[in-house]
Amino acid sequence: MSISLFYFVAFLSIFFALMVIFAKNPVHSVLYLIVTFFTFTIHYILLNAQFLAIVNFIVYMGAIMVLFLFVLMLLNLNEGSVGSKSNLLKMIGVIAGMCLIITLVGSARVLNASEPLVLQTQDLGLVKNLGKVLFSKFLLPFEISSILLLSAMVGAVLLAKKDIKRV
Amino acid sequence: MENVTQAIQGVPLNHYILLCTIIFSIGVIGVLIRRNAIVIFMSVELMLNAVNLLLTAFSVHHNDPSGQVFVFFIMALAAAEVAVGLAIIVMIFRNTNSTDVNILNKLKW
């Protein structure tokens, strides 16, 4: 185990993230996105955020990505059904993204926060510790998020069902 | 577990900021260059995840669990967002028979 593990996983994250946006077939995009999220899970384990690693694994890779694949299967999209933008627009988009990277990296350099990351307490990201914080300091937001999920469920059902025939 | 977490000791915080910046920008580029609504949606997910990772890194750096609780809330929000967004995409597909965002230009100036 060495420090190079982080750089290897970071390289994989960037590589698969690029594959997500450049893959022609949307199904391949979803599969690459799942691999990207798996590398993020490894990042969380490296940061000793074990609770987040498990939640990322179950919620993102398990639930959200299956939802994406399910919708893709229902819509039955294949490669040629959606055209691509003209090369000029693609170039402009990539240049705009590069400008964003340069701006953000420049501002990060000004911050000069380059001291090494040190794990001060080993049990920072464990379920016990996070649960105590979640149910004491963040109790109200936790309850409100349940209302958010309920309203999202109602909204999704309302949007996705067929129109009621008006007589 | 001890071995794994030892590996992270010594990665500068700047490199985490750099990684998350690059992933976020890849998400932005994906939104700009793709026309399929579902791929645009996946790029938005990529951006959300980049921010999640950065929040976790700063949480470890400052030894404060609040950052990781925030990531938990963002994940709940992302789940709700995906459910509603995919329902909207299904509805668009039913009306236009495509998920091309260029068809939906009625409100375009």
- Tens of pLDDT, residues B3-58: 555 555 678 888 888 999 999 999 999 999 988 889 999 999 999 999 999 999 98
Query: For testing the chain B interface, which of A30, A47, A142 should be mutated: the one with the most B CBs within 10 Å?
Result: A47
Question: What's the mean pLDDT when you consider all of chain B?
Answer: 86
pTM more than 0.80: yes
Domain B7-96 grouped into CATH 1.10.287.3510: yes
Cα-Cα-Cα-Cα dihedral sign, residues A101, A106, A109, A113:
negative
Residue entry with tokens 């300091």: A137
- Look up the CATH number of domain A4-78+85-118+125-160: 1.20.120.1200
pLDDT on residue B6: 58
Minimal Cβ distance to B14: which of A18, A64, A108: A108
pLDDT on residue A101: 92
Minimal Cβ distance to B83: which of A74, A101, A153: A153
8 Å CB contact between A18 and A11: no
Continuous segment of H or E residues that includes residue A15:
helix A4-22
Q: What is the mean pLDDT of each run of 10 residues along chain A (167 residues)?
A: 81 94 89 93 89 90 87 76 79 92 88 70 81 91 93 88 64
Minimal Cβ distance to A26: which of B36, B69, B81: B36
> Which of A 140-159 lie inside 8 A of B, CB atoms?
141-142, 145, 148-149, 151-153, 155-157, 159
pLDDT (average), residues B93-107: 83
pLDDT on residue B23: 95
Cα separation, A153 vs B104, in Å, equals 25
Q: What residues contact B63, with CB distance under 8 A and at least 6 apart?
A: A120, A121, A124
Q: What residues contact B39, with CB distance under 8 A and at least 6 apart?
A: A20, A21, A26, A29, B30
- In this predicted structure, the answer to whether residue B95 has a pLDDT above a threshold of 70 is yes
Supply the DSSP symbol for A23. -
- Does ipTM come in above 0.95? no
A48: left (phi over 0), alpha (psi -120 to 50) or beta: left
Per-domain residue ranges of chain B: 7-96
Per-domain residue ranges of chain A: 4-78+85-118+125-160
pLDDT on residue A110: 81
Tokens of B65: 């669990």
- In this predicted structure, the answer to whether residue B96 has a pLDDT above a threshold of 80 is yes
